[in-house]
């Protein structure tokens, strides 16, 4: 059976004002640090625009399989970003992990 890719997404709010230099720096630091981790592909920094929820930003990234995702979660760059930045600057978040469902023919 072929291993399935994982799309990891997190939507969040920061303690910094939306669009502020501090918020923009957090987003850019997240991009720079998290994309340096092996296995991270298609990383995107997102700004929420729908009135249907009240989160401000998102990170989205893909992993080839569960092993790559697990390695990312345990990677020292990720754990340092979480403890040094995320836990101090993110006020709330929602994490979502998806696998693509195969088409039924």
CATH number for position 38: 3.30.70.100
Q: Is the pLDDT assigned to residue 95 strictly greater than 90?
A: yes
Residue 1 belongs to some domain of the structure: no
Residue 68 belongs to some domain of the structure: yes
Residue 21 belongs to some domain of the structure: yes
**CA–CA gap between residue 35 and residue 78 (Å, rounded):** 10
Cβ neighbour number for residue 44 with a 10 Å cutoff: 11
Q: Which domain holds residue 41?
A: 6-98
Residue 104 belongs to some domain of the structure: no
**CA–CA gap between residue 55 and residue 59 (Å, rounded):** 12
Q: Tell me the mean pLDDT in the region 82-96.
A: 98
State how many domains the chain has: 1
Q: Which residues contact 92 (CB under 8 A, 6 or more apart)?
A: 12, 13, 55
Residues in the chain: 105
Give me the pLDDT at residue 101, please.
82
Residue 72 belongs to some domain of the structure: yes
Strands (E), 1-105: 6-14, 41-47, 57-63, 90-98
Give me the pLDDT at residue 2, please.
58
Q: Is the pLDDT assigned to residue 27 strictly greater than 50?
A: yes
């Amino acid at each position: 059976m072929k291993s399935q890719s994982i799309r990891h997404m997190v939507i969040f709010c920061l303690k910094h004002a939306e669009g502020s230099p501090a918020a923009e720096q957090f987003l850019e630091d997240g991009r720079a640090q998290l994309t340096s981790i092996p296995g991270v592909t298609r990383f995107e920094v997102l700004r929420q625009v729908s009135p249907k929820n009240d989160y401000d930003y998102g990170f989205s990234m893909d992993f080839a399989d569960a092993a790559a995702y697990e390695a990312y979660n345990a990677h020292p760059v990720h754990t340092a970003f979480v403890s040094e930045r995320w836990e101090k600057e993110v006020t709330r978040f929602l994490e979502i992990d998806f696998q693509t469902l195969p088409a039924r023919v």
